[in-house]
Amino acid sequence: MTAHYAIIGSGPSGMYAADALLEGVPGCHVDVFDRLPVPFGLIRYGVAPDHYKTKNTARQFARTLDLPTVRFFGNVEVGRDISLDELKTFYDGVVLAIGAYNDRPLGIPGEDLPGVYGACAFVGWYNGHPDYRDLAPLLDKDAVAVVGVGNVALDVCRVLAKTVAEMDESDIAAHALDAIQQAPLKRLHMFGRRGPIEAGFTPKELGELRELERAVAIIDPAQLPDQVDGEFEGREKGVKEKNLSIFKELAAHKAGIKPISLKIEFYAAPKEIFGKDRVEGIRMERTRVENGRAIATGETFDVACGAVVKAIGYFSKAPYGVPMNGGTIANVAGHVEDNLWVVGWSKRGPSGTIPTNGPESRDVMRKMIAEHDNGGKPGGEAADLLLRTRGVRVVDYPDYKKIVAAEVARATGGHPQEKFTRIDEMLAVLG
């Protein structure tokens, strides 16, 4: 009997899971559900638009969605159009690959002021995600503060700092490119609550700050140690050493030699965001690091800015009544309950690069196959019938190809594609 599996979420972890199922259960059918009409989640909407080559990973996943035994159920929101229980009835195994699509809160006064944005929203905005099409971030002042020193903070600062020419080969949304170019930006501040050795940057991404046309990245040399001390696992020490050597290059830069200064400041934790009706500045507290933890010193300083972006990590929200464990779905080695499994950021939290998900999804799928490879459930036919009865406009993979072709056709300059940023625009392509 043919086994039928459903995956909820078409981002990297979901697509790696699909590949693992096709490999592990020859002849099985895999249906991939996504609430948006377009697949690939984080690849389309999370990866920075100027890292367009990274988005090529989607080609591998596109080949998967093109297989006759795989079906894309786009524009179908589980919990609204079809319930999780219905999927569990129709499929031999159901996989949650819903990512961590919510911004962690800072929990400080002023966080709700207009002008404060989570990275999820801000990155979604410049990547043309329909949820954030109308974010219209306040970029009318000369400074923006970014909290966090991970790769997402780097992405946000780099995209804000780049010129139109530097973004020419990117797929940044036109509304964001226009807004950023019109912004009178002079200062970008990136704050890390711990030190340079604890920063989450990877050297390649950090190194890109050296090459910005209109922005100079600067660091106070007094914040840098001579060398990387301490014990690190595997490749970690090498990464820290490369980062330190790049930090030292940045510390030799002179502020003011380019129109925008991008200052990376360590040992600074956000204490309050202030302003009357909107963000006017951020109050930071000096820290010192003890046993890897940031300890507040009581000394504060204020930085004037018109917007604050929190790039401090993400969490998953409880979907469809599934039990949670903090910001992730409660699971034991990927198993949630009955025939329900979880992979990716919704399983382990928001860490790692796209390929990190490959081995992990394969591992969880191996376990799932061992328990649910016998088949017997109706799969996509039943789901399709139900969705039709409910009048849901399912977007399948050939439909998606038409949407992308229209996005490529309307791109201008060197942009590879001009994404539609509203769902009805995408559906309009399909007539």
Residues that bind ligand NAP (CB under 6 A): 106, 147-153, 155, 192-194, 198, 200, 202, 205, 269-270, 294, 311-313, 350-353
**Nearest distance in Å: CB 172, ligand NAP:** 15
* Least distance CB 188 / ligand NAP (angstroms): 16
**Strand ranges (DSSP E) for 123-280?**
143-147, 187-191, 215-218, 260-265, 268-274
Whole-angstrom distance, CA of residue 282 vs CA of residue 332: 41
Least distance (Å) from ligand NAP to the CB of residue 69? 31
Nearer to ligand NAP, 86 or 131 (CB): 131
Q: Which residues, in sequence order, are bridge partners of residue 272? A: 283
Q: Which of 37/196 has CB closer to ligand NAP?
A: 196
Give the residue from 99, 118, 81 showing the smallest Cα distance to 43. 99
| Angstrom distance (rounded) from CA 376 to CA 124 | 40
Strand (E) or helix (H) holding 289? strand 281-290
Q: Which is nearer to ligand NAP, 49 or 150 (CB)?
A: 150
Closest alpha carbon to 103 in 353, 349, 324, 313: 313
In the complex, least distance from residue 155 CB atom to ligand NAP, rounded to whole angstroms: 5
SS3 sequence of 191-232: ECCCCHHHCCCCHHHHHHHHHCCCEEEECCHHHCCCCCCCCC
Q: How crowded is residue 124: how many other Cβ atoms within 10 Å of its Cβ? A: 23
Residues whose CB is less than 8 angstroms from the CB of residue 346 and which lie 6 or more positions away in sequence, other chains included: 9, 13, 96, 97, 98, 99, 100, 316, 319, 328, 329
For the bound state, the minimum distance from the C-beta of residue 80 to ligand NAP, rounded and expressed in Å, comes to 28
> H or E element: which one contains 73?
strand 70-73
**Shortest Cβ 103–ligand NAP spacing (Å):** 9
C-alpha 4/C-alpha 1 separation (Å) is 10
Closest separation between CB of residue 46 and ligand NAP, Å? 7
Query: Are 328 and 348 a contacting pair, CB within 8 Å?
Result: yes
Compute the least distance from the CB of residue 158 to ligand NAP, in Å. 10
Torsion (CA) 216, 217, 222, 228 in degrees, nearest 10: -140
DSSP β-ladder status, 102-103 and 93-96: unpaired
Nearer to ligand NAP, 21 or 147 (CB): 147
Q: Which residues contact 55 (CB under 8 A, 6 or more apart)?
A: 43, 44, 47, 171
Nearest residue (CB) to ligand NAP, 271 versus 415: 271
Name the closest residue to ligand NAP (Cβ).
150
Q: Is the Cβ of residue 152 or residue 157 nearer to ligand NAP in the bound state? A: 152
Q: How far is the CB of 55 from ligand NAP (least distance, A)?
A: 11
Residue among 121, 69, 103, 85 nearest 8 (CA): 85
- Of 111 and 241, CB closest to ligand NAP: 111
Q: How far is the CB of 354 from ligand NAP (least distance, A)?
A: 8
- Nearer to ligand NAP (CB atom), residue 2 or residue 356: 356
C-alpha 321/C-alpha 332 separation (Å) is 17
Residue nearer to ligand NAP on the CB measure, 193 or 415: 193
- Nearer to ligand NAP by Cβ, of 143 and 294: the residue is 294
